């Protein structure tokens, strides 16, 4: 006993516990696609005025982004004014068959204008104003940061072209590359701890929300997506990340 005391030997009871290891993963931060809006051109035209004129600009929901010209906008607005006027006249005459027919025409023109990018409020303004224009103002449907701007003032664009991408950066995605040997240990909801070079010494965390079911044949990796809280706006899309995941490898 005296010898053991002098040697400062410590003992403990042998118990069975779960074994854990840490997986080291690398990846990159990206914006959350579920909290983003892609502003697409629904017709060919030209940018008359550009109000949101730089990437990184924060815009509130309903902010005007640009005023765009389209050769068909004048015609479509004339159609809605004619359809609305005809419908009002039919309601005064109280002819049900005519009224139903004109109502279908009115709704058809409304749908066509919505496809072109008009909001309900903009269509109502055209009707209330009683005049037409060959331009359309684009508004942002969400509050967020402009992370991609593909137009400049005076530029022509084609139908289907991406004009803006706006994202709410309060939540971000972390896309990690996991090798096929690591995949069996990764699960939905698992906590991920990570660091970025831009904020040395600080650890961030998130949870796995998606594991890609397909393996990349060249890299032998699958994408593991982690959702992270960025309410403090410290993290930015494009940052490289070193992450660790603590996983249980055995119950005994």
Q: Would you say 151 and 105 are in contact if contact means Cβ atoms under 8 Å apart?
A: no
| Mean per-residue pLDDT pooled into runs of 10, the chain (252 residues) | 63 74 91 92 93 92 93 85 83 72 85 86 87 89 93 93 94 94 91 92 94 90 94 92 85 62
Q: What pLDDT sits at residue 2?
A: 62
Residue 96, classified by CB atoms within 10 Å of its CB into exposed (0-12), middle (13-18) or buried (19+), is exposed
* Calculated CA dihedral for residues 207, 211, 212, 217, nearest 10 degrees: 110
Q: What pLDDT sits at residue 3?
A: 61
Q: Within a 10 A sphere around the Cβ of 225, how many other Cβ atoms?
A: 19
Show the tokens assigned to 95. 């002819």
Report the alpha-carbon distance of residue 117 to residue 105 in Å, rounded. Answer: 19
Q: Would you say 204 and 228 are in contact if contact means Cβ atoms under 8 Å apart?
A: yes
Show the tokens assigned to 74. 């004048």
Q: Would you say 222 and 180 are in contact if contact means Cβ atoms under 8 Å apart?
A: yes
pTM value surpassing 0.85? no
Show the tokens assigned to 112. 């066509």
Q: What pLDDT sits at residue 94?
A: 66
Residue with tokens 């995949």: 183
Residue 21, classified by CB atoms within 10 Å of its CB into exposed (0-12), middle (13-18) or buried (19+), is exposed
Output helix, strand, coil percentages for the chain, rounded to the nearest 5: 25, 35, 35
Nearest to 50 by CA among 153, 157, 145: 153
Q: Within a 10 A sphere around the Cβ of 206, how many other Cβ atoms?
A: 25
């Amino acid at each position: 006993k005296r010898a053991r005391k002098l040697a400062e030997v410590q003992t403990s009871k042998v118990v069975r516990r779960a074994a854990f290891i840490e997986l080291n993963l690398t990846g990159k931060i990206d914006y959350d696609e579920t909290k983003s809006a892609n502003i697409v051109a629904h017709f060919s035209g030209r940018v008359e005025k550009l109000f949101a004129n730089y990437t990184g600009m924060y815009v509130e929901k309903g902010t005007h982004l640009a005023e765009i010209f389209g050769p068909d906008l004048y015609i479509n607005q004339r159609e809605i004014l004619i359809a609305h006027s005809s419908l009002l006249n039919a309601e005064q005459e109280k002819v049900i068959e005519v009224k139903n027919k004109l109502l279908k025409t009115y709704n058809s023109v409304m749908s066509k204008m919505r496809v072109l990018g008009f909001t309900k409020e903009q269509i109502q303004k055209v009707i209330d104003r009683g005049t037409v224009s060959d331009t359309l103002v684009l508004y942002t449907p969400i509050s967020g940061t402009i992370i991609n701007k593909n137009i400049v003032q005076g530029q022509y664009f084609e139908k289907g072209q991406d004009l803006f991408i706006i994202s709410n950066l309060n939540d971000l995605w972390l896309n990690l590359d996991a090798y096929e040997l690591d995949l069996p240990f990764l699960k939905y909801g698992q906590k991920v701890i990570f660091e970025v070079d831009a904020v040395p010494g600080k650890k961030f965390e998130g949870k796995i929300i998606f594991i890609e079911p397909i393996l990349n044949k060249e890299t032998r990796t699958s994408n593991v997506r982690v959702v992270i809280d960025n309410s403090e706006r410290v993290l930015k899309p494009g940052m490289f990340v070193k992450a660790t995941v603590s996983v249980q490898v055995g119950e005994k």
